[in-house]
Amino acid sequence: MAEWRRATLGDIADESDGSLKTGPFGTVFQASEYAPVGTPVVSVGEIRYGSLSVTEKTKRVGPQTLRRLREYLLRQGDLVFGRKGAVDRSAWVKAGEDGYFLGSDAIRVRLGDVVDSRFMAYQVQSPRIRSWIKQHAVGTTLASLNEPILRLLPVVVPPLTEQRAIAATLGALDDKIDSNRRATSLAEALGDAVFASVASSTTRLLDAGTLVMGSSPPGTTYNEEGAGLPFYQGVRDFGARFPSRRVWTTGPIRLSEAGDSLVSVRAPVGRLNRSRELCCIGRGLAAVRSPFPSTLYYALRAAEDLWVPFNQEGTVFGAVNRRDLGNALLAWPGSIESTTKLELTLGATDSKIASLVLESERLAALRDVLLPELLSGRIRAGDLPDPATAPAETR
């Protein structure tokens, strides 16, 4: 630890001929320059905890804007911070994201060879750093981050070899999580294709399954200590496939069982997850239970366009009621025999997906435990086995 030193992010940037840059706004970049297709614009909405998330809703810019504002192009290894709202979120730009455009609600940090940028990306995701950022952000109603604040961010700087070892250890976990995520997406796409090839009829949602509309228990029954049943209120709790435990309730009212499809009934209406345990659902969700749970889930995935009108209605946000949800027409196999056969196929696909998701959750939990230990020097990366090849029971 004697060779580990303390510095600020600004010091590191200056020492390595790096830089900090805020995304363009005002007279530099006009909203009219957004394009329907083109290069993704990275603003606070695209920045997650440690990675970028680009979706069909991400704004884009065309080649003319890229040529005019080349200094705002992101490069592999850059760190990107949210500038407003979720200021404790930051991401490390991967090779496939090189060339993305820096949005006005983001700040880019580019470092030179003095540090390993992926190591620094992990460090700024540590609880200590995220807490520091939230404490030093300005603004009373909406937290705001700026370059002067980021330059003062206190960081530790081990020898470069140790930085690379820490980044490699944690990176192996994240790389495996990314691999699992891609495999999950491919498996879901295969499930969608198999369902579409068999679905030759239609049925009402109420005829395909039993509908349970959520109802929120009294707030006095909520807790974060795990007492009672997990309580999922809406899309805020949704994960890639299953909800994430955040709140529990000792006074559950409406229950969802393992295997149910969970449907958001408030904006954004129609988002989907699956229950993997007995849980309580709030007013933002409905559970749909079927003898053919996987078939029903893929039928709901195929019905995405049904929810567009509901997301456009309402004075504040869209919503769908029990009647409209129950009467929604879903594509469905033409006979009980074909449905039974399809369920076997899709069930096997879903079992594979569940295994991948569970492994990723375990790897993420291991990463989150190792992160502060490695950054403090209490555990040295060289003393650990390769987490990507360790037996499952040790992960």
List, for residues 111-161, the tens digit of each pLDDT value: 998 899 999 999 999 999 999 999 999 987 889 999 999 999 999 999 999
* pLDDT value for 387: 58
Whether the Cβ atoms of residue 65 and residue 81 lie closer than 8 Å to each other: no
Indicate the pLDDT class of residue 315, thresholds 50, 70 and 90. Answer: very low
Do 5-157 and 204-333 come out as alike in CATH topology?
yes
DSSP string, 215-260: -PPPGGGEESS--SEEEE-SGGG--SSSPPP-EEESS--SEE-TTP
* pLDDT value for 230: 98
List, for residues 221-251, the tens digit of each pLDDT value: 999 999 999 999 999 999 989 999 999 999 9
How do 210-213 and 285-289 pair as beta strands? Answer: antiparallel
Domain boundaries, the chain: 5-157, 204-333
* pLDDT value for 344: 98
In this model, does residue 56 exceed pLDDT 90? Answer: no
Beta bridge partners of 144: 84, 138
Report the percent of the chain where pLDDT is more than 70: 95
In this model, does residue 394 exceed pLDDT 50? Answer: no
List, for residues 330-346, the tens digit of each pLDDT value: 999 999 999 999 999 99
In this model, does residue 378 exceed pLDDT 70? Answer: yes
* pLDDT value for 310: 83
CATH annotation of 204-333: 3.90.220.20
Mean predicted confidence (pLDDT) in 11-25: 94
Whether the Cβ atoms of residue 35 and residue 101 lie closer than 8 Å to each other: no
Taking alpha carbons only, the member of 117, 129, 115 closest to residue 160 is 115
Q: Which 3 state secondary structure label does DSSP give 80? A: strand
Q: Is 7 left (phi over 0), alpha (psi -120 to 50) or beta?
A: beta
pTM: 0.84
Taking alpha carbons only, the member of 380, 379, 375, 378 closest to residue 6 is 375
* One-letter amino acid for residue 222 of the chain: Y
The CATH topology of domain 5-157 is Adenine-n6-DNA-methyltransferase TaqI; Chain A, domain 2 (3.90.220)
DSSP letter at 334? S
* pLDDT value for 299: 98
Task: Decide which of 284 and 56 is more confident.
Answer: 284
* pLDDT value for 393: 42
